[in-house]
Structure 1
């Protein structure tokens, strides 16, 4: 029985995802197919790659040595397969997930610059709530995500990229100009927040809870623009990235509510999991880190 490319890909998917079940989901195969390919690979090599006595997919000593060679082999095969008959590389598809704030600020400029630098990478975009993006990354439906910090699996590659200042905004005249509110003063206000799949809203609610504040949600909405509009209409306070709204704050169309202490910074990162395309994903992650600017709206 000979060793095949599909067997190597299945093995690396198990290693990178941690279980046979997640590997099957990542490759859109059944778990029995993954198991069969691993068994065939082990039969071809004459040794066990995984220690079957453990609940998770733990490599044997021989398996650990084999995996590093397998990664190089799969990467080399993918590079060869990407060339056309004219000797040009076919663009590699990268499935990128971002939150709405990215799509309204740095992302369009990043895509323009990426294409101008050379169309060797094409992006398939998903714009969604951070926790949905995280779930899609873990199941292999996305390759990279740009989200606020949250708990990731221990093998995730996480690059911090920006600290985003957040603030409270509301209807003009809601509080006297320049007045600094204590956190306890916010107990009687209604809040306009993103939905339950927003990692940002979850972390902010937890931060308020540390001060004994149970934020009352008068409206849950997944659109940043809709949240701001509802705040201006007097439906509640909106917790939002500050720099993005500075023109609106300076114009007097919304009121910024200053608090003591100030709201925490929102720490964004770019994340991907180990993959046969490790070099490419690391390069794209570094490009994103250099390009990110949440302070400047794209449409100005």
Structure 2
């Protein structure tokens, strides 16, 4: 008799590309995955995997079985959801966010999830947008909150809102409320996020504009660190207004007015639609209820 464990092993080995990756995802040993695949293959007269390839590649017969396995797993998910009074959560939830979310409403989100699902294992990851999207595509995380979407049909995207970006600097550098002309702005070093941040392409017309040749540029992959560098007086930077309003109220930073208009930063939720769909949808709605891009609950401290 075929088992769901065997189908689950084949599906995730085929999806993730190796026995090791499937074992890690399912939280079992690699030998357990090998045993389940071996039991499954023993029922067929032809191999289900091509062992000559570097990765675990399905044969034609293996592809047919994978399609059946996916249907069986989807039906099992429906049965689990139907049997439970509420949405059945996964055993672990791998959530990826940018540092802006981590600096503000991530603690409240995690606390609410734990309150609703006390047995769930949370694995939050904080990274730049490019890294988060790559890990989501590779199935190393399940759910991402960041300023980018993907149009692949296996992903669901939901818009969260937009964030106002402003120039900021230490009052030691800019001590009045005048509007800085371009030549005045360019005399300061530019503190900006490094490659991989979503702000780089959004601010392309500012950072890479030949008409705005900043004398010096300092790149950093952490927005909170940029705020600290700016507060120390090392240069001028571009930050989300709401998230760093505490720096302004404390007198550590000043919002600098310039002749250069800055775009707004849009944030989205992205998750896969091929597993745990009902649970992810509930978490997405929870995010929309808890997120605050106005600064009422944001804190950079």
TM-score with structure 1 setting the length: 0.71
Cα distance in 2 for residues equivalent to 1:211 and 1:170: 20
Cα distance in 2 for residues equivalent to 1:76 and 1:241: 41
Describe the SS at the equivalent of 1:259.
coil
Distance of aligned partners of 1:167 and 1:90 in 2 relative to their CA distance in 1, 3 Å threshold: closer
Distance of aligned partners of 1:288 and 1:22 in 2 relative to their CA distance in 1, 3 Å threshold: farther
Shift in Å at residue 96 of structure 1?
Answer: 0.8
Describe the SS at the equivalent of 2:244.
helix
Unmatched 5+ stretches in structure 2? 49-56
Quick one: which of 4, 8, 17 aligns to 1:21?
17
Shift in Å at residue 152 of structure 1?
Answer: 5.8
Quick one: which of 196, 200, 209 aligns to 1:202?
200
Shift in Å at residue 263 of structure 1?
Answer: 1.1
Distance of aligned partners of 1:27 and 1:190 in 2 relative to their CA distance in 1, 3 Å threshold: farther
Shift in Å at residue 291 of structure 1?
Answer: 1.1
Shift in Å at residue 139 of structure 1?
Answer: 1.7
Shift in Å at residue 157 of structure 1?
Answer: 1.4
The answer to whether the aligner puts 1:178 opposite 2:174 as a matched pair is no
* Structure 1 residues 135-176: Cα deviation after superposition (integer angstroms, max 9, x where no partner): 222222211111111556442211111211111111215344
* Cα pair 1:12 1:275 within 8 Å, conserved: no
What residue is the counterpart of 2:240 in the other structure?
A: 241
What residue is the counterpart of 1:75 in the other structure?
A: 77
Q: Please identify, of 138-147 and 70-79, the stretch whose mean Cα deviation from structure 2 is larger.
A: 70-79
Shift in Å at residue 179 of structure 1?
Answer: 0.9
Distance of aligned partners of 1:92 and 1:181 in 2 relative to their CA distance in 1, 3 Å threshold: farther
Shift in Å at residue 127 of structure 1?
Answer: 1.7
**How many residues are aligned here?**
278
Cα distance in 1 for residues equivalent to 2:241 and 2:299: 15
Cα distance in 1 for residues equivalent to 2:178 and 2:19: 55
Distance of aligned partners of 1:210 and 1:151 in 2 relative to their CA distance in 1, 3 Å threshold: farther
Describe the SS at the equivalent of 2:243.
helix
* Structure 1 residues 53-73: Cα deviation after superposition (integer angstroms, max 9, x where no partner): xxx99x9xx999857732433
* Cα pair 2:13 2:21 within 8 Å, conserved: no
Unmatched 5+ stretches in structure 1? 49-55, 83-88
Aligned residue runs from structure 1 range 27-176, under 5 A: 28=24, 66=68, 69-75=71-77, 92-149=91-148, 151=150, 153-175=152-174, 176=176
Aligned residue runs from structure 1 range 210-221, under 5 A: 211-212=209-210, 213=212, 218-221=217-220
What residue is the counterpart of 1:293 in the other structure?
A: 292
Distance of aligned partners of 1:163 and 1:217 in 2 relative to their CA distance in 1, 3 Å threshold: farther
* Cα pair 2:97 2:146 within 8 Å, conserved: yes
* Cα pair 1:167 1:239 within 8 Å, conserved: yes
* Cα pair 2:149 2:270 within 8 Å, conserved: no
Describe the SS at the equivalent of 1:199.
coil
* Cα pair 2:244 2:300 within 8 Å, conserved: no
Describe the SS at the equivalent of 1:285.
helix
The answer to whether the aligner puts 1:229 opposite 2:228 as a matched pair is yes
Cα distance in 1 for residues equivalent to 2:162 and 2:284: 16
